[in-house]
Amino acid sequence: MPKLSIIVPVRDHAAELELCLQAIRASAQGHDEVEVLVVDTGSTDGSLEVARQAGIEVVDAGRVTAAAARNAGARRAQGDLLAFVDADIVIAPSWVAVALSALEVMDIAATGTRPFAPQDANWVQNTVGLMRSHPESCRPARWLSSCNCVIRREVFERVGGFDPSYTTCEDTELSFRLRRQGFRLLDEPRLACVHLGDPRTLRGVFLSELWRGRDNLRVTVQPGELRDKISGLVPVIELAAMAACLAPAPRVRRSAAAFVIGMIGLRAWRMLSGGASRWRQAPGALLVAGAYELSRALAVALPAPYRVRQRSRP
């Protein structure tokens, strides 16, 4: 009986999936208690062949959301621990060993950490990476990314798994739901991984956040902390300010533009505040922050389908 089940949802990520499965195989070497399942959601690019050639069991979930695909994988999985790794994620060699030991502390329900940019990342990908914090040691987590996390099966089943109605941000919704029910989440930096799917252009940043924005707003209106409510209000206020930039009154236009520019500057400052060496990336941070803030605001009024996310891929 496997102790750890690694579930990899995929749709048209054949090249990345091959690298993902190679890394999982290397990390799982010597661990007989590990199973791997690939959950396909309608791939047409050879992703199924990549999984089958690697000897991996494939679950055909149909054309469903990633959240529903992860739930389908969890239903088929046999492990006591459920790990969710996206097809464009490459885990570290020690990842499986850490995953098997990280939840030995019984009051921890789930663990994971944010991915790093790839080694061949361009300036946009490296700048996007500044938005993700990477602690040097374990710490409590407010939310865990479903691209790289491990959760106890009994906990996952008790809370009902991921909400399949979410196209994205389902990980944030599940994390908030876990915390509301009293479960502890742990940010474990040893579960290191690389994200191959970060956008390589400002257009890609804009499109990917346009896709995420509406479900991000949905998450923030759920019961939760005040800081989450404020986070959800920001794109709404920014959209109103962007509209006010077209107002006939010059004073209103100037004030609205100053607010939008100020929010972009605040985002860039937060990206750069992790260390003195980051300030060399200030111009790029302002550009990425601008694409991010504007797309999140527009997403309030312009929900984007998954094909928009596909166009943002490297």
154-164 pLDDT, tens digit per residue, is: 999 999 999 99
Q: How far apart are CA 191 and CA 40, in angstroms?
A: 24
In three-state secondary structure terms, 300 is coil
Q: In this predicted model, what pLDDT tens digit does every residue of 251-301 receive, in sequence order?
A: 999 999 999 999 999 999 999 987 767 888 999 999 999 999 999 999 888
- The H or E element spanning position 19 is helix 14-28
Give the DSSP per-residue string, 74-124. Answer: HHH---SEEEEE-TTEEE-TTHHHHHHHHTTSTTEEEEE-PPBPPTT--HH
Residue 83 CB neighbours (<10 A): 26
Q: What share of the chain is helix, strand, coil (3-state, %, to 5)?
A: 50, 15, 35
Instruction: Report angle CA 308, 310, 314 to the nearest 5 degrees.
Output: 125
Q: How far apart are CA 193 and CA 112, in angstroms?
A: 10
Residues paired with 138 in a beta bridge: none
- Which residue is it, tokens 């920001």? 234
- Which residue is it, tokens 């312009």? 302
Q: Is the pLDDT of residue 1 over 60?
A: no
Q: Calculate helix-pair angle for 170-180, 66-76, nearest 10 degrees.
A: 60
Residue 277 CB neighbours (<10 A): 8
- What tokens were used for 276? 């003195």
Q: How far apart are CA 230 and CA 224, in angstroms?
A: 11
Phi/psi-derived region of residue 268, left when phi > 0, alpha when psi is between -120 and 50, beta in every other case? alpha
Of 17-26, 48-57, 73-82, 214-223, which gets the smallest average pLDDT? 214-223
Q: What is the pLDDT, as a whole number, of residue 300?
A: 87
CA 259 to chain centre: 28
Residue at 186: amino acid letter: L
Q: How far apart are CA 39 and CA 28, in angstroms?
A: 19
Residue 247 CB neighbours (<10 A): 13
Q: How far apart are CA 14 and CA 4, in angstroms?
A: 24
108-112/184-187 β-pairing = parallel
Give the DSSP per-residue string, 165-188. Answer: T-SS-HHHHHHHHHHHTT-EEEE-
Q: In this predicted model, what pLDDT tens digit does every residue of 80-112 receive, in sequence order?
A: 999 999 999 999 999 999 999 988 877 899 999
